[in-house]
Amino acid sequence: MKLMAVTDDRHDIPDLLRILLDIHPYVDHVQIREKNKPAGAVYQLCRELVKEGLPEEKLWINDRVDAALLLGLKQVHVPGHGLPLKELKRQYPELRIGAPVHSFEEAMEAEAAGAAYVLYGHCFPTASKQGKAPQPLSNPVRIRQSIQVPMYGIGGITAERLAVLKALELDGAAVMSGIFSAKQPLEAVKELREECSRLEAIQ
């Protein structure tokens, strides 16, 4: 199973830079989701990450397509309220674009529009979605059988819950609070990586 770390917009830039440089060897993807920081701060963070050795192919920038283009990065994630995926692909065919989905119909639309992957959730109860019921876990089975692009689960992901995503035949997990709200993010990532590797070895 693949592992994506999704930042939670709760750390300042120096702290976030340190955490990401520590954890990136243990994850397959890093999504920079800093919705309350200005574009300039996101740009500086991503520039420093690449400069300090985080591989560009691991890095996805949420929403700030402008920062990605300025940095020459090719991977972005567009939120549901963000720029239209289909139009972005038309204007910038070189971009790889991830998209959030909450239903079978949204997943089919995202793939047809050119999504590189879809992010389904939230899968489990999570502090970041208080008062909102998780999405049905019956949906991913139908979605997975109908689309070709990778599908990740997000929301309330813990090492113990990764087996559920594996059983649903998801390609991986996107983890936010489980990493960035942890007292020791590096140890949290190592635990997640170990479980992902264990599940990956099971046929």
Supply the residues annotated as catalytic. 122
List the structure tokens of 196.
Answer: 């992902």
Is 45:34 a contact under the CB 8 Å cutoff?
yes
The pair phi, psi for residue 10, each rounded to 5°, is -115, 0
Q: Alpha-carbon distance 143 to 139, whole Å?
A: 6
- Give the three-state DSSP class for 52: coil
Q: What is the DSSP letter of 181?
A: T
List the structure tokens of 45.
Answer: 């963070």
Residue type, position 59, single letter: L
Q: Alpha-carbon distance 199 to 131, whole Å?
A: 31
